[in-house]
Amino acid sequence: MQARWWIVAALLCLETGTARSQTPTPRIINITAERFSFTPSEIVVDAGEEVELRLKSDDTAHGFRVAGTTVSVVIPKRGYRGTVTRLRVDEPGRYTFECTRMCGAGHNFMRGTLIVRPRTSQP
């Protein structure tokens, strides 16, 4: 009887481990928007890596768009819950992200760079 429980527990562990390897927890990147900058303004990810972007504003509402991807969201004003979105880019290169909602005189300065590095092969 005891041996049977051990076998069930082992199978459960195996199943959980398999599920985990199939859907790894994405790396979380916190980004703060404020007239007229994103912090950080330079983000580095690996090609094919899925990351979770957690965006919040310290003042008015801003937009956040990564050129060349489908990511385009609104970041609510300070005091409201931030925005969470996921990003995965397979093609290495440099991508511009920018505010898409007019936020003041320096709106066009509000840009950053997403650097997607080639994925290093696993040993």
Partner 1 sequence: MVDIMTAQNMKFEEAICLVLIVFGQAAAATAQQAAAETGAVTGPISGYMDFHLNKPEGGDPSLDFHRFVLILNHSFSSRIRFVGELEIEHAFVEGLEESGEVELEQAYIDFLITRSFNVRAGMLLVPIGIINERHEPPVFQGVERPFVDTVIIPTTWFEGGAGVHGEIGRGLRYRAYVMAPLNALEFSADEGIREGRQKGSQANVRHAAFAGRAEYLGVPNLTLGASAWHGTSSIPGPTLDVDVSIGEADVRYRRDRLELRGEFAQVAIGNAERLNSAIGQLTGISPNVARAMRGYYTEAGYRVWANGPARDLMAFVRYENFDTQFRMPDGFVPLKEFARSAWVAGASYYPDPDVAVKVDYVWQRNQSAVVKSPNSFNVGLGWWF
- Contact track, partner 1, 12-51, x by CB under 8 A: --------------------x--xxx-xxxx---------
Q: Using the rule CB under 8 A, is 104 a contact of partner 1?
A: yes
Lookup result for tokens 């385009």? 72
Q: Which of 51, 63, 71, 112 binds partner 1 (CB under 8 A)?
A: 112
Q: Using the rule CB under 8 A, is 117 a contact of partner 1?
A: no
Contact between 57 and 117 under an 8 Å Cβ cutoff? The reply is no
Q: Which of 10, 12, 13, 80 binds partner 1 (CB under 8 A)?
A: 80
Which 59-78 positions form the footprint of partner 1 (CB under 8 A)? 59-60, 67, 77-78
Q: What is the CA radius of gyration of the chain?
A: 20
Nearer to partner 1, 31 or 87 (CB): 31
Q: How far is CA 47 from CA 31, 44, 76, 92, 115, in A?
A: 20, 10, 29, 6, 9
d(CA 56, CA 83): 6
The least distance separating partner 1 from the CB of residue 78, rounded to whole angstroms, comes to: 5
Nearer to partner 1, 34 or 50 (CB): 34
Judged on CB neighbours under 10 Å (0-12, 13-18, 19+), 110 is buried
